[in-house]
Structure formats: C-alpha cells, structure tokens
Amino acid sequence: MNKLFLTCLTLFVVLTSTAHAQNTNNSSINNQKTKAMKFELPKLPYAANALEPVISQQTIELHYGKHLQTYITNLNNLIQGTKFENADLETIVKESDGTIFNNAGQTLNHNIYFLSFSPNGGGEPKGKLADAINRKWGSFENFKKEFNTAGTAVFGSGWAWLAKDKDGNLEIIKESNAGNPITKGLTPLLGFDVWEHAYYLDYQNRRADHLAELWKIIDWSAVEIRY
Ligand SMILES: [Fe+2]
C-alpha cells in the first residue's frame, strides 16, 4: 500500500515538474517573441494599387512596404534595453528624443496616414467633425485651402496635420521631419506626409498637385472616429 502511494506520489511530482518546465519554456519563448515583434506594420484596408492614380502601387510598395517597415524595425531595435522597451507608441513619441523619437514619430505618423485612405474615399466629413471645421474655417473648401497651403509651406521634409485640442477645437499644424502634434498635447486627426518619398515618383517636384489630389481618397469615416 505504502509502495503504491510512493509510486503515485513520485509520478505526480515528475509530471507536474515537467509541465512547469514546459510552461516556463513556452512563457520564455513567448516573451522573446513579444519583445522581437513589439511594433508591426499595420494591415492596409486596401490593395497596393487601389489608390491609383492618386497614389501609385509603386509608391505604396516603397513608402508603406519599405520606408514604414524600416521605421518600425529601427524602433523595435532601438528601444530594447531602454525604459521604452514596454511602452506604448504614443508614450514613446511624447517622452523620447533623438533617433528613438524620429523612428517612433514616423511609425505613429505613417500608421495614421496609411489608415486615412480608401479607394472609395473623398467627399466631405460629416457630423461633429464637419461642424468643428465649419466653425473654425467657415467651410470645408476654406479648410482644404488652408491645409494645402500649410502642407506646401513646410520647408523640407515634414507633415501637415489637422489636430484637436482637449476641448475639440481644431488647428492646422505644420511639423518638420517626424513631428506629431501629440507632443504639443493635441490629438492628431489627419496628416499629409510632405516628405518627398510620399510623392516624388508620382508627382516629381509638384508637391501642391499631390496634396490637392489626396482629398479624393480620404476616408472621412476613419478620421471622424479620431475626433
Ligand atoms: Fe512618409
């Protein structure tokens, strides 16, 4: 009887130890995966050629597939072993500087940018966002004109942003390089990328023409959700 009990006990201890070891190993592997894959390329809700002729397939493949992927890869590598290792993207953009800020900012900026388009986009915003635009600029047409002027006026590489403050008031903000209005306490709603990599293949030096065309593919339902 005692011998049977001891055999059962030994078997129980061996089985639970093995299970614990397996769990520990799995957990360790999962943690490594999580660290290595922290930020990922967002899935596009459209095909690479779906925004033509406003943005060509070649530009999407390079801008989204190469430039954005590089920012994300750089960010994942740069934050390892820093205080940002487990931080969310917005916190990193708000609190970092130097190369971490540049790559985090560009990751956030492009995530917003690429998820603001639809092949069925265009037209005008509706609801609360439309009301706020009309309050600030008088009409959607005036807002577009101001936004295009801001985007054209950014010297060198950067972004034109539509952003809101904590009270829902709207502003057009010009940012250089990886800038995002989130660092000024504002919420970004819509960003036009005026880095040459965004338009040079399709419009060469004609940045203003590119900005004027972008309105045809804006997915206002995606922008309205951010407001
Ligand atoms: Fe870009």
> Ligand 1 center to residue 111 CA distance, Å?
10
Find out whether 199 and 207 touch, Cβ atoms under 8 Å.
Answer: yes
> Ligand 1 center to residue 77 CA distance, Å?
20
> Ligand 1 center to residue 88 CA distance, Å?
21
Distance in angstroms (rounded) separating the CA atoms of residues 17 and 38: 31
Find out whether 38 and 26 touch, Cβ atoms under 8 Å.
Answer: no
Residue 1 falls inside a structural domain: no
pLDDT, tens digit (0-9, with 9 covering 90-100), for 140-161: 999 999 999 999 999 999 999 9
> Ligand 1 center to residue 117 CA distance, Å?
14
Model confidence at 128, in pLDDT bands (50, 70, 90)?
very high
CB count within 10 Å of CB 134 equals 14
Does 78 share its domain with 132?
Answer: no
* Helix, coil or strand: residue 225: helix
Does 153 share its domain with 193?
Answer: yes
> Ligand 1 center to residue 68 CA distance, Å?
7
Tell me the whole-structure pTM to 2 decimals.
Answer: 0.84
Does 103 share its domain with 133?
Answer: no
> Ligand 1 center to residue 177 CA distance, Å?
10
> Ligand 1 center to residue 84 CA distance, Å?
23
Does 106 share its domain with 180?
Answer: no
130 vs 13, residue with greater confidence:
130
Identify the CATH number of the domain in which residue 131 sits: 3.55.40.20
Mean pLDDT score across all residues of the chain: 89
> Ligand 1 center to residue 71 CA distance, Å?
10
Find out whether 214 and 152 touch, Cβ atoms under 8 Å.
Answer: no
> Ligand 1 center to residue 193 CA distance, Å?
6
Of 49, 221, 199, nearest in space to 122 by CA: 221
pLDDT at 111 over 70: yes
pLDDT at 205 over 70: yes
Count of structural domains, the chain:
2
> Ligand 1 center to residue 61 CA distance, Å?
12
What pLDDT shows up at residue 2? Answer: 52
Question: Mean of the pLDDT values across residues 200-226?
Answer: 98
